[in-house]
């Protein structure tokens, strides 16, 4: 379906505070005054990030005002006018630092005023809710599972399943460094369909923000809100870390929730390293991080050890063994264990690498790659009450995002930021090692058992998993260009967001067939009462699709009077 959406009326007045754009970077602005508090035109202003050597310059306009847009986060920044310099300005996600300077007749320069407009101001200026999770928050707050998105619960408008503002979780937009981090198949974050522990190493996340309004035209493709993360970069100082978080089995009770003694490993180990620093001081920097998780949790399949277990599961060990023996004798079920307690281990990786290259004073190039891998062995359970071990399936997921960003200071009043990303998501479901290939599944219904005089029945499955042949591949190409143009009175933002998705999906829930037997006797006599199968009508069962999304937008910002500011914008979306 083609959709055209035009967002108008992004218009509001701010009393006493300007509304700053929801950018992934920051800004430094100010005014240079001369005698009589008159703005000085064409005064050269330079800023330098002392930790990385990032350097850029601009000139004041006819009012003596200057602005640096989309500067890298961090610091400390030094602001210089001629030979005078002032130091120690650190900027965070979306901050705007204002430094006004006064040039005296004697030629001496003095700082007149310094104002840092941070997250609280941004929230007020945007006339809506935005919760900033700073680098300090990430560093000191406990994060279960090392998944940074768990901290979204600090936003009062967050809910279960990743939803914001009461909207569907699939309408929440996820971005990393200003580009999409959503899985086109599930409409959640890249790893949302598989349930992998994280979509990026938390060690690579500098800070992030939960924005639940859409007044800024650069924000699109979301319903309830946007979760925007920005990543770390290297500096002139080598820094590194190594960690391990361990939940060992011997620290847990040796009994399970039923009071039975555990015989399988129950532990989680998360470990990794990070390293950042200069390749060429003040010119080229790197930051790398790797996170690995080994999650060991028992797989319990009709683990009947007591009468209470039998009553809860609706089956006795005798009935389970009766079905299993028939399956081995007449249906080819293997001689390995099929019910009880099993070891199960899930392995997950997240790798991150970022390079920042200061080409010259006008151009900063960033290359960033984020990789995740998750292998959930025997993690897919079928929909029958009891599934023998051979009916479980494996789930493999791989996601990779490659991003290039070029920030260019074209003129003193013209800044451009170009972003290009290739996002690849892959998910493959397949039969576990017990079978090694897809086969029909068999369901024995109403398997009868008598427990303490109580007659109970249940359903038992063996054979293949119904959707162990499914697979999903997505190739997402995204290009975003934002142009910031400043005049004496108005600050303009113009931009385009182009995204193309090429998807290949293989669906099918019963393409291998399903035999249904009513009771153990019919199962023993090889007499199913129903056979069901979805039969593909074409040789290639994959669904291939091409999805185009186009966003064009413009925005203006001006001061109407003292204490009265105006922002207005329009956005056009086509998909």
Mean pLDDT by 10 residues, the chain (575 residues): 50 42 74 83 91 92 90 90 83 85 59 46 44 87 85 83 77 90 79 78 92 79 87 96 90 84 90 97 97 95 93 95 96 95 95 97 96 94 96 95 96 94 95 89 96 92 93 96 92 95 91 95 97 90 94 91 85 90
Residue 26 falls within a domain, yes or no? yes
pLDDT of residue 12: 46
Q: Where are the alpha helices (DSSP H) in 189-346?
A: 307-313, 317-330
Distance separating alpha carbons of residues 383 and 414, to the nearest angstrom: 59
Residue 550 falls within a domain, yes or no? yes
The pair of three-digit structure tokens given for residue 38, joined into one six-digit string: 């008159």
Last residue of one domain, picked from the residues 85, 117, 149: 117
The string of DSSP codes covering 380-444 is E--SSSEE-GGG-EEEEEEEEEEEEEEEEEEETTEEEEEEEEEEEEEEEEEE-TTT-S---EEEE
| CATH code at position 78 | 2.60.40.10
Nearest to 197 by CA among 159, 247, 145, 270: 145
The pair of three-digit structure tokens given for residue 243, joined into one six-digit string: 């960690």
Contacts of 306 (CB under 8 A, 6+ apart): 258, 260
The pair of three-digit structure tokens given for residue 262, joined into one six-digit string: 């555990």
Residue 177 falls within a domain, yes or no? no
Last residue of one domain, picked from the residues 90, 117, 144: 117
- Note the Cα 114 to chain centre separation in Å: 35
> Per-residue pLDDT tens for 481-530?
999 999 988 999 999 999 999 999 998 888 999 999 999 999 999 999 99
The string of DSSP codes covering 533-547 is ----SSS---EEEEE
Distance separating alpha carbons of residues 199 and 210, to the nearest angstrom: 17
pLDDT of residue 107: 47
Nearest to 460 by CA among 413, 516, 416: 516
pLDDT of residue 212: 83
Distance separating alpha carbons of residues 238 and 96, to the nearest angstrom: 28
SS3 10: coil
Contacts of 97 (CB under 8 A, 6+ apart): 26, 27, 28, 29, 77, 89, 91, 114, 115, 116, 117
Taking CA atoms, 402 is separated from 128, 130, 153, 370, 475, in Å, by 32, 28, 28, 7, 12
Identify the DSSP state of 343.
-
Residue 60 falls within a domain, yes or no? yes
Residue 546 falls within a domain, yes or no? yes
Domain count, the chain: 2
Distance separating alpha carbons of residues 52 and 221, to the nearest angstrom: 34
Last residue of one domain, picked from the residues 62, 82, 117: 117
Q: Which residues of 145-181 are buried (b: 16+ CB within 10 A; e: fewer)?
A: ebbbbebbeebebbbeebbbbebebebbbbbbbbbbb
Distance separating alpha carbons of residues 357 and 480, to the nearest angstrom: 20
Residue 38 falls within a domain, yes or no? yes
Taking CA atoms, 347 is separated from 10, 251, 375, 552, in Å, by 46, 21, 5, 41
Distance separating alpha carbons of residues 130 and 18, to the nearest angstrom: 15
Taking CA atoms, 357 is separated from 161, 253, 410, 471, 478, in Å, by 38, 52, 17, 38, 22
- Residues 524, 326: contact at Cβ < 8 Å? yes
Helix and strand totals (H; E) in the chain: 5, 33
Range of the domain at 483: 473-503+537-575
Contacts of 411 (CB under 8 A, 6+ apart): none
pLDDT of residue 155: 86
- Note the Cα 12 to chain centre separation in Å: 31
């Amino acid at each position: 379906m083609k959709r055209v959406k035009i967002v108008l009326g992004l218009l509001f007045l701010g009393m006493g505070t300007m509304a700053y754009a929801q950018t992934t970077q920051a800004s430094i602005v100010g005014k240079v005054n001369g005698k009589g508090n008159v703005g000085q035109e064409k005064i050269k202003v330079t800023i330098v990030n002392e930790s990385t050597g990032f350097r850029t310059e601009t000139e004041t306009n006819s009012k003596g005002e200057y602005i640096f847009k989309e500067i890298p986060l961090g610091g400390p920044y030094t602001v210089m006018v001629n030979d005078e310099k002032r130091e120690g300005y650190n900027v965070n996600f979306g901050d705007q630092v204002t430094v006004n300077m006064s040039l005296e007749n004697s030629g001496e320069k003095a700082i007149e005023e310094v104002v840092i407009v941070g997250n609280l101001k941004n929230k007020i200026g945007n006339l809506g809710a935005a919760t900033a999770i700073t680098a300090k928050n990430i560093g000191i707050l406990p994060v279960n599972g090392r998944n940074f998105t768990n901290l979204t619960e600090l936003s009062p408008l967050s809910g279960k399943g990743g939803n914001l503002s009461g909207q569907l979780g699939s309408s929440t937009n996820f971005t990393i460094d200003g580009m999409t981090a959503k899985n086109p198949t599930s409409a959640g974050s890249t790893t949302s369909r598989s349930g992998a522990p994280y979509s990026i190493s938390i060690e690579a996340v500098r800070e992030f923000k939960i924005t639940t309004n859409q007044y800024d035209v650069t924000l699109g493709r979301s319903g309830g809100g946007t979760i925007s993360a920005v990543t770390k970069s290297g500096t002139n100082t080598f820094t590194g870390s190594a960690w391990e978080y361990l939940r060992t089995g011997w620290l847990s009770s040796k009994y399970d929730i039923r009071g039975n003694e555990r015989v399988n490993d129950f532990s989680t180990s998360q470990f990794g390293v990070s390293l950042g620093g200069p390749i060429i001081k003040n010119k080229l920097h790197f930051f790398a991080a790797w996170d690995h998780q080994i999650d060991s949790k028992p797989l319990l399949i009709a683990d009947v050890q007591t009468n209470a277990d039998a009553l809860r599961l609706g089956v006795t060990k005798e009935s389970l063994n009766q079905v299993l023996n028939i399956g081995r004798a007449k249906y080819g079920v293997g001689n390995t264990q099929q019910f009880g307690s099993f070891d199960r281990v899930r392995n997950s990786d997240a790798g991150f690498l970022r390079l920042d290259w200061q080409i010259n004073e006008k151009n900063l190039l960033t290359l960033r790659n984020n990789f995740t891998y998750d292998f959930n062995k025997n993690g897919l359970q079928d929909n029958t009450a009891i599934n023998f071990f051979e009916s479980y399936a494996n789930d493999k997921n791989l996601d990779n995002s490659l991003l290039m960003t070029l920030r260019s200071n074209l003129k003193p009043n013209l800044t451009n930021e170009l972003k290009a990303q290739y996002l690849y998501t892959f998910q493959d479901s397949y039969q576990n090692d017990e079978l090694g290939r897809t086969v029909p599944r068999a369901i024995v219904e109403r398997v009868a058992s008598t427990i303490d005089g109580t007659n109970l029945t249940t359903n038992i499955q063996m054979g293949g998993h119904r959707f162990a042949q499914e697979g999903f591949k997505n190739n997402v190409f995204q290009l975003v260009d934002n142009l910031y143009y400043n005049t004496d009175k108005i600050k303009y933002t113009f931009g385009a967001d182009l995204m193309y998705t090429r998807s290949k999906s293989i669906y099918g829930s019963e393409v291998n067939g399903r035999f249904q037997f009513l009771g153990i006797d019919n199962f023993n006599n090889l007499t199913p009462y129903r056979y069901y199968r979805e039969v593909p009508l074409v040789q290639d069962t994959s669904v291939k699709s091409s999805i185009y999304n186009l966003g064009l937008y413009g925005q203006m910002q001006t001061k109407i009077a003292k204490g009265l500011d105006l922002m207005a914008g329009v956005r056009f979306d086509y998909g």
